[in-house]
Amino acid sequence: MAGGSTPAAYLRMTYDRFARFMPRENILVVTLEKYASTARILLPEIPEGNLLLEPHARKTAPCMAFATYTILTRDPDALIVASPCDLVIRDEELFASTIGEMFEFVAGHDVLMTLGIVPKNPDVNFGYIQVKEGRNAWELDRPLQVKTFTEKPPQELAEVFIRTGEFFWNSGIFLFKATVIREELEKFVPDITELFRGWETQIGDSVFVDHAYSACPKVSLDYGVMERTDRAWLYPAKFGWADVERL
């Protein structure tokens, strides 16, 4: 997911990060139409059909619907890892192996998995995810059940979160079966998914996509789906992670 506000070099960096362990033909880039030429210059090898162009900025829930419906037309049994391009990962090999472990888990479970980052301090610029496993959660090395999401809490609350040991920073990286995220999108944000009715035959038509996006509300995947679903799980990340905006 490349919204356009991040320095262009990070798009190339993110693409290369996933190309190390995924077939390049399976990597889709979703960005705004106005950044299409930049994306093609940075990623000259990307197939034309793998560059999904959004006509309007509508946050990540419409972006995920667009990508999911596109993927389902190609492979109904697909697994999806969704990542923003504004992240710095400091151990690429550990990142790849972590994604592999998460893929194995979601392949056998109908869940929406997210990567959680053990917080270094009570930073109010990140979202926080609480898990059900309690105060020892930071020490665990397995999928954990999500209890609550809190978007950018005030300082006092962030300090409480840190003391409990059961809250993680929200990395913005998700994994799920394409069929499962479709079900949850259609359940929780039908005002978005109804606009894509007919996607089975029309998702590749730019006029169809423009019409859908023109009426789409601005809704994030976190707010629209992850905070409401009972299928949310978290995998504790052990690799180095940073948000570009917080470097």
| Global confidence as pTM | 0.94
Residue 84 lies in a domain: yes
Concatenated DSSP letters of the chain: -B-S-S-THHHHHHHHHHHTTS-GGG--EEEEGGGHHHHHHH-TTS-GGGEEEESS---HHHHHHHHHHHHHHH-TT-EEEE--S-EEES-HHHHHHHHHHHHHHHHHS--EEEEEE--SS--TTS-EEEETT-TTGGG--S-EEEEEEESS--HHHHHHHHHHT-EEEEEEEEEEEHHHHHHHHHHH-HHHHGGGTTHHHHTT-HHHHHHHHHH-----HIIIIITT-S-EEEEEE-S-EEEGGG-
Domain of 145: which CATH number?
A: 3.90.550.10
Summarize pLDDT for 78-92 with one digit per residue, the tens.
Answer: 999 999 998 999 999
Residue 171 lies in a domain: yes
pLDDT tens, 157-208?
A: 999 999 998 999 999 999 999 999 999 999 999 999 999 999 999 999 999 9
In a domain, 166, yes or no: yes
In a domain, 2, yes or no: no
Least confident of 75-79, 106-110, 132-136, 191-195: 132-136
Q: Answer whether residue 146 is part of any domain.
A: yes
Structural domain of 74:
9-246
Query: Does residue 104 lie in a domain region?
Result: yes
For the chain, what is the domain count? 1
Say if 95 falls within a structural domain: yes
- Domain assignment present for 222: yes
